Amino acid sequence: MVRIVDVREITLPISRYADPTIASGGLTTSLVAVVTDVMRSGAPVVGYGFASIGRFGQGGLIRERFAPRLIAAETLTTDTGDGLDPQRAWSAMMQGEKPGGHGERCVAVGTLDMAIWDAAAKIAGQPLYMHIAERMAAAAPPSRVRVYAGGGYRYPSDDLKRLADEIRYCTDLGITHAKIKIGVNVDEDMKRIEAAAAILGGPSHLAVDAMNLYGPGDAMRIARALAPLELMWFEDICDPLDFKTLASVAASYPHPIAAGEALFSRAEAKLLDNYGGLRPSQDILLFDATHSYGLTHYFEIVAEMVERGWPRSAFWPHGGHLFSLHVVAALGLGGAELNPLAFAPFQGTPPSLGIEDGFIELPQAPGIGFELHDEAYRAFRRLLD
């Protein structure tokens, strides 16, 4: 029988900027180590996970609610009896939980779920994307996936110069597309777009993220201003649940819209599809697998939306870290976000993963491969040392 015998958690500050002196709003994330009773080379197999980006740490929920249920589970063994079953682990965590009220518990569960999948793949001796594909009896996944650079936050001084430096750094890595933030006023936004697009080779290689700032009137005005640019996509236009405004923009904005980053369940995905006015032929779905109760529930979101007519190429998971690369490859999704400079210790990727023409190679180590990322692995080792 496979059991989880210990769960350890710490909360760390993370910044939107590579420069730690720039204030970043006190953002945090949770790191977890899930210790199994399976031994490899004289040591227990440990899975690592973290709470992705943007929702703050989840330590209280993890320690008081979900980790104890994992440890109390008598067995989490696969039906074949030779591995760790993430679905059984997920069911144990969600025991007694009522439908609805997704709030922050979805992130706490997703953090642990990431670590459980890491441990399951390590026990199987496979990179996570290969392990997922094998469990799903899917076609052999690709060994590299398409990526774009996330970031592009507004700098408190020398904004245009520092933004240009950031985009240039990304293109030097081999990245061909990027995303920047907008939302102050149209004139300033257009200057940022012009500065970034000039380095990327045109606006079609640039996405813009309004971070859910616009109300109905402003959303329509900025959409009209952006329409002639033919951007890669226009992201997070209004409040995540303001489906009326989103649908109004989608009815008149001719180019791709991206949404779903701040929706965390299959039920919310269905609401977006029913009332958001999005167009499966061109729009983008950004659901974060970690924030959506983990990969175990994200499978259901993808299946639901595909059944409703959405192509897998429409999915570009939010997050910008190693875990998302595995998810995209295993499920045959459109591509993944990378954060080359932001959100240490998870910024960038291991140097062993080459990037060329906007595609990145997948880690070949068992599990997610956090052990290949020096800074991230040092943070995780703090849980055990």
pLDDT digits (tens, 9 = 90+) for 238-295: 999 999 999 999 999 999 999 999 999 999 999 999 999 999 999 999 999 999 999 9
Instruction: Give pLDDT, residue 345.
Output: 96
189 annotated among ligand-binding-site residues: no
Domain boundary among 90, 125, 160: 125
- Decide if pLDDT at 325 tops 90: yes
Is 299 domain-assigned? Answer: yes
The reply to whether 116 and 167 lie within a common domain is: no
The reply to whether 163 and 236 lie within a common domain is: yes
- Give the chain's largest Cα–Cα span: 63
This prediction has a pTM of: 0.97
Q: What is the mean pLDDT of residues 166-171?
A: 98
Structure tokens at 223: 């959409």
Instruction: Give pLDDT, residue 177.
Output: 98
Q: What are the catalytic residues?
A: 181, 318
The reply to whether 121 and 12 lie within a common domain is: yes
Instruction: Give pLDDT, residue 278.
Output: 98
Q: Given the DSSP bridges, would you call strands 355-356 and 359-361 parallel, antiparallel or unpaired?
A: antiparallel
261 annotated among ligand-binding-site residues: yes
Instruction: Give pLDDT, residue 60.
Output: 96
The reply to whether 203 and 337 lie within a common domain is: yes
Is 231 domain-assigned? Answer: yes
Instruction: Give pLDDT, residue 94.
Output: 97
The residue ranking higher by pLDDT, 104 or 120, is 120
Instruction: Give the separation between CA 352 and CA 373, rounded to whole angstroms.
Output: 9
Long-range pairs of 214-220 with CB within 8 A, sequence gap ≥ 24: 214/183, 214/238, 214/245, 215/242, 215/245, 216/242, 216/244, 216/245, 216/248, 219/245, 219/248, 219/249, 220/248, 220/249, 220/252
The reply to whether 327 and 366 lie within a common domain is: yes
The reply to whether 288 and 163 lie within a common domain is: yes
The end-to-end CA distance of the chain, in Å, is 27
In degrees, rounded to 5, the angle at the alpha carbon of residue 114 between the alpha carbons of residues 14 and 1 is 145
Is 111 domain-assigned? Answer: yes
Residues of the domain holding 53: 4-125
Instruction: Give pLDDT, residue 139.
Output: 83
Q: What is the mean pLDDT of residues 85-113?
A: 94
Closest CA to 37 of 10, 73, 62, 66: 73
Instruction: Give pLDDT, residue 385.
Output: 85
Is 137 domain-assigned? Answer: no
Is 138 domain-assigned? Answer: no
Give the total number of structural domains in the chain: 2
Three-state DSSP at 10 gives: strand
At 10, the amino acid letter reads I
Instruction: Give the separation between CA 128 and CA 246, rounded to whole angstroms.
Output: 35
- Decide if pLDDT at 24 tops 90: no
What CATH number is given to the structural domain containing 74? Answer: 3.30.390.10
Contact 206/200 with Cβ under 8 angstroms? yes
Confidence of residue 103 (pLDDT cuts 50, 70, 90): confident
Domain boundary among 67, 90, 125: 125
Q: What is the mean pLDDT of residues 20-39?
A: 93
Is 131 domain-assigned? Answer: no
pLDDT digits (tens, 9 = 90+) for 109-164: 999 999 999 999 999 999 999 999 999 887 899 999 999 999 999 999 999 999 99
Is 96 domain-assigned? Answer: yes
The reply to whether 100 and 200 lie within a common domain is: no
pLDDT digits (tens, 9 = 90+) for 328-350: 999 999 999 999 999 999 999 99
Which of 68-82, 169-183, 229-243 shows the lowest mean pLDDT across its residues?
68-82
The reply to whether 345 and 237 lie within a common domain is: yes
Q: What is the dihedral of CA 235, 240, 244, 246, to 10 degrees?
A: 0
DSSP conformation letters of 280-340 = TTT-EE---TTTTT-HHHHHHHHHHHHHTT--GGGB--SS-SHHHHHHHHHHT-S-EEE-S
Tell whether the torsion through CA atoms of 12, 18, 19 and 25 is positive or negative.
negative
235 annotated among ligand-binding-site residues: yes
The reply to whether 173 and 26 lie within a common domain is: no
Q: What is the dihedral of CA 184, 186, 187, 189, to 10 degrees?
A: 60
Contact 339/147 with Cβ under 8 angstroms? no
pLDDT digits (tens, 9 = 90+) for 180-217: 999 988 999 999 999 999 999 999 999 999 999 999 99
Contact 363/372 with Cβ under 8 angstroms? yes
The reply to whether 164 and 116 lie within a common domain is: no
- Decide if pLDDT at 359 tops 90: yes
Domain boundary among 125, 158, 177: 125
Confidence of residue 165 (pLDDT cuts 50, 70, 90): very high
Contact 73/50 with Cβ under 8 angstroms? no
Three-state DSSP at 68 gives: helix
The reply to whether 195 and 315 lie within a common domain is: yes
What CATH number is given to the structural domain containing 354? Answer: 3.20.20.120
The reply to whether 202 and 277 lie within a common domain is: yes
